[in-house]
Amino acid sequence: MDTILVVNAGSSSVKFQVFAVDEPGGPQRLIKGQVDGVGSRPRLRAEAADKQSLIDQSFAPEEVKDVPAALEAAGAWLRETRKIEPIAVGHRVVHGGPKYDRPVLIDRDVVASLERYAALAPLHQPNNLAPIRTILALPAQTRLFLCHDYPGNRRAANAESSVAAQSKDNIHVGGDVGEAAFVAMRQARDATLATPRLILPALQVNIRGGRLPPPDADGVRYLRLPLDQLRADA
């Protein structure tokens, strides 16, 4: 049975669901679970589609000390006990900034872009990205999906990629590029970039969870720009 895994990592928990994708009528949820109390009182719980409990297990704090460890604990249980080997993984990210507002194919370039918006959700965005890095360490044949693909003029747009393809061909972190080289490259590149063109309108929607500002007294909704506070590159 082909399955997909959907993950939502927060500041102290990892929520996950497993769906069967070959069922009539579309994907059917098989498992819903979470690891909460990360770093303090870790506990893994999950239930089947009929609400039957599948696991309720506590861990010592040092066993699940952070979000990547929580993802690994949940993944180990899914693989070893439920025999789940998903063909694709999806992950929710709090802030996509002005560039990402729909599901997009994920690669290391997308992760690097999303890291720029960590300050908008410091308790969640880094923890959203940590499991994505863990996902990129999965077996080479693992298929990758998330939001948009921006091929530019280099190639045609793709609906999916793989860990192997990104490890081999990613222009930022493919091959033998290490963390220090990646950080140096990103810092040099980011220093040349202007403020994103739509950052101020996007912020006014993102901080409201995707909702537009409320109408003014005249019944019209406005996105406001502080003209006397902007830097020259904004």
Residue % of the chain over a pLDDT of 90 = 26
Which CATH number is 3-175 given?
A: 3.30.420.40
Q: Which value, to the nearest 10 degrees, does the dihedral of the CA atoms of residues 213, 215, 217, 219 take? A: 160
What is the DSSP code (8-state) at residue 32? Answer: E
Residue 25, pLDDT above cutoff 70: yes
Residue 28: name the closest of 17, 38, 16 by CA. Answer: 17
Provide mean pLDDT across the span 171-177: 63
Which DSSP state fits 102? S
**So what's the pLDDT on residue 136?**
64
Q: Where in the chain is the domain with CATH 3.30.420.40?
A: 3-175
pLDDT of residue 234: 46
Mean pLDDT is lowest, of 76-80, 136-140, 190-194, for: 136-140
pLDDT average, residue stretch 65-75: 88
Confidence (pLDDT) at 80: 92
Alpha-carbon span 31 to 5, nearest angstrom: 10
* Between residues 217 and 137, the one the model is more confident about: 217
Q: Of 109, 149, 169, 176, which residue is the catalytic one?
A: 149
107 is catalytic: no
Six-digit token pair at 77?
Answer: 């249980």
CA angle, residues 164, 86, 64, in degrees to nearest 5: 90
Q: How does the average pLDDT of the chain come out, rounded?
A: 78
Q: Is the dihedral of CA 18, 99, 177, 179 positive or negative?
A: negative
For residue range 86-124, what is the model confidence (pLDDT) as tens digits? 888 887 776 566 676 677 777 777 777 666 655 555 554
Residue 69 φ then ψ, to 5°: -65, -35
- Distance of alpha carbon 171 from alpha carbon 211, whole angstroms: 35
Where residue 56 falls among pLDDT bands split at 50, 70, 90? very high
For the ranges 146-150, 166-170, 220-224, the lowest mean pLDDT is seen at 146-150
